[in-house]
A = this chain, B = another copy of it.
Amino acid sequence: MSSAVHSTEEYDMDIRSLSSSRSHPQDPPYVHKVGLPPKQNLFKEFKATVKETFFADDPLRSFKDQTRSKKFILGLQAIFPILEWGRNYSFVKFRGDLIAGLTIASLCIPQDIGYAKLANLDPQYGLYSSFVPPLIYAFMGSSRDIAIGPVAVVSLLLGTLLQNEIADPVANAAEYRRLAFTATFFAGITQVSLGFLRLGFLIDFLSHAAIVGFMGGAAITIALQQLKGFLGIKKFTKKTDIVSVMHSWNWQTIVIGASLLSFLLFAKYIGKKNSKLFWVPAIGPLISVILSTFFVYITRADKNGVQIVNHIEKGINPSSVNQLYFSGDHLLKGARIGIVAGMIALTEAIAIGRTFAAMKDYQLDGNKEMVALGTMNIVGSMASCYVATGSFSRSAVNYMSGCQTAVSNIVMSIVVFLTLQFMTPLFKYTPNAVLSAIIISAVVGLVDFDAAYLIWKIDKFDFVACVGAFFGVVFASVEIGLLIAVSISFFKLLLQVTRPRTAILGNIPRTTVYRNILQYPDATKVPGVLIVRVDSAIYFSNSNYIKERILRWLTDEEELVNKSGHQNIQFLIVEMSPVTDIDTSGIHAMEELYRSLQKREIQLVLANPGPVVIDKLHASDLAQQIGEDKIFLTVANAVAACSPKLLSDV
């Protein structure tokens, strides 16, 4: 017999069956015992759990076995990654960063002016937020591709939440601004705390599907809002007849807006079709700003009702340290808004960071990243910035323009600085319609039909979360949408822990492998034996369900057996491979199962309990109760052990 057969004995023998072992009951097969893991002491166990929960990435790994001075340098480098990658910085890299930085600067300046309006702030605050935060991020952040600054969704969210507290942001501009800075401060504090306390995994509770829906909904809301500016309507008239509506419109604005939007969308289309032309959509906004500003200046269209930016404060960020609310009612409001905005901003930034890190295959330390983003917002809040984070669209442009390191953010920051210092008067005649067109063309990219379709294909429940978040944002508000997204995500997790799957296993022909009979229709049941697999840890939240589900499988099977006149069920094998843990409620449920089976004269047999489970089965004496000889390494072993006993009853 060749050894090739030996190597494949798991699947190549079709004569193997239960009957064969029945004919040789005197040959006890070699059975490897179920391993009992080495006893751990309590402290070690606790330490391991804490480490895996909060320090899963082993952040201190590189500090091991180092001298004290080396540790200090490593510590500094951990806080300021620029000290690490900066040493290998070269001219070639700088060339890439310079081009990328200039490109994203041209994109961010008009976007910033528009986004500030979404947050109900004056245009310069958008620019401020593209000056200080990117600088700080460049020193502390570990992503090489992210582009920092204000983003559409966070601006909208912040604007909505702030307006809930201060109804009229124009009349109470100073108070509104102070609350915005306070919220920014607490957004930063939230981000730093999550990173420092290593609670970064909390943002994982917003599922991908919920984010897709939320972003899409926010994009639609923003786009609809911008239509107002786009059509030149100050306030929608209450008269609904077409003439009144037409009167309130301004045809010059519509022409400017529509043509520029067409131009921008066409530029986007070109960039999408040919990835070498990625720079076309990247510089499109700047070109349209220049063209439209020049056009308005020449024609003085502003005198005919075309609304213009008019004034952007000249000079760089003034200090806003004294403007933060550190007491009273506004402190609480600011903190509440900041926590929400900070979490959303974080979710966006981490998602971007991870995406590009995976594309270039470098590691991104989520917790360190949060500390960097938080610090930049805390400092920002003291320099008249509002919440900044990573922008999807600008980061993609940054990546495609060939950025190498965070230096591209420094370049962008310098350009914004120069703009603030010298060029704000040039924006006087910039029509608001062009800003609306830029925002619309930027946010349409957030409506991700492909992703939604993929979600639909993969997971219907996820799709419900996605659609729920989308409609919540569109028809209610950003907060409601967010709440729906989080609730549905949580409900799904609860479902997972209360209603785990169970499966009936059968033997796959010509193997000793036992698999779900629904997945493998050719798998055959073993007469007299019911094999059930439990697909989850057995915890208080599902222990009763699992017990009752197993008993129900048994009842169903016994009915079938009675109808067909086959052999009665005498063994219930529970395949426990997927059962990673069991708690006291679970042990009690297993005990109750064991007792119910005893009443029915059915033997309980366990297959492959994992290390934690076998440990607890012994600790609770349940292993002894069931019988050590009823616990096997594999289902095949268990079946082999049951079948000779079945024989005697036939």
> Hey, which bits of chain A sit against chain B, CB under 8 A?
1-4, 6-13, 15-18, 20-21, 23-24, 27, 29-32, 35-38, 42, 45-46, 49, 52-53, 56-58, 201, 204-209, 354, 358-359, 361, 366, 454-455, 457-462, 489, 492-501, 508-513, 515-516, 518-521, 535-537, 539-545, 548-549, 552, 577-578, 580-581, 583-585, 587-588, 592, 595-596, 599-600, 608, 610-612, 614, 616, 619-620, 633-634, 636-637, 640
Structural contact, A358 and B596, CB atoms closer than 8 A: yes
Q: What are 23 A-B residue pairs whose CB atoms fall within 8 Å in the complex?
A: A3-B23, A3-B24, A4-B20, A4-B21, A4-B24, A7-B21, A7-B24, A7-B29, A9-B16, A11-B30, A11-B634, A11-B637, A30-B510, A32-B510, A35-B516, A45-B460, A204-B540, A204-B543, A354-B592, A361-B595, A366-B544, A454-B584, A519-B611
Given contacts A11-B634, A32-B511, A358-B592, could you give 7 more A-B pairs where the C-beta distance is less than 8 Å?
Answer: A9-B13, A12-B30, A201-B541, A204-B542, A461-B583, A489-B541, A492-B583
- B207 close to A37 (CB less than 8 A): no
Are A496's CB and B27's CB within 8 A? no
Task: List chain B residues, Cβ under 8 A from A640.
Answer: 7-8
Is A208 a contact partner of B540 (Cβ separation < 8 A)? yes
Closest to A609 in B: B519
From B57, B548, B608, B611, give the contact of A57 (CB < 8 A). Answer: B548
- Known A-B contacts A6-B13, A57-B548, A620-B457; the reply to A508 vs B32 at CB < 8 A is yes
Given contact pairs A4-B21, A11-B637, A16-B3, A585 touches B499 in the complex (Cβ within 8 A): no
Q: How far is the CA of A53 from the CA of B544 in the complex (A)?
A: 13
Instruction: Report yes or no: A616 in contact with B459, Cβ–Cβ below 8 A.
Output: yes
Q: Identify A499's interface contact among B21, B53, B489, CB under 8 A.
A: B53
Minimum C-beta distance from A545 to chain B (A): 6
CA distance A38 to B519 in the complex (A): 8
With a CB–CB cut-off of 8 A, which chain B residues contact A577? 577-578
Q: Are B15 and A548 in contact (CB under 8 A)?
A: no
Q: Which 3 A-B pairs have the closest CB atoms?
A: A207-B540, A578-B578, A8-B29
A596 to B358, CA, bound (A): 7
Cross-chain contact of A458 among B10, B30, B36, B619 (Cβ < 8 A): B619
Q: Identify the closest chain B residue to A1 (Cβ).
A: B1
Within the complex, what minimum Cβ distance (angstroms) separates A531 from chain B?
14
Q: Are B519 and A37 in contact (CB under 8 A)?
A: yes
**Closest chain B residue, CB of each to CB of A209:** B584
A512 vs chain B, min Cβ distance (A): 4
> Within 8 Å CB of A53, what residues of B?
495, 498-499
Tell whether, in the assembled complex, residue A457 and residue B619 are in contact, meaning their CB atoms are under 8 Å apart.
yes
Given A3-B23, A544-B204, CB of A30 within 8 Å of CB of B8:
yes
List B contacts of A549 (CB < 8 A): 56
Q: Are A201 and B462 in contact (CB-based, < 8 A)?
A: no
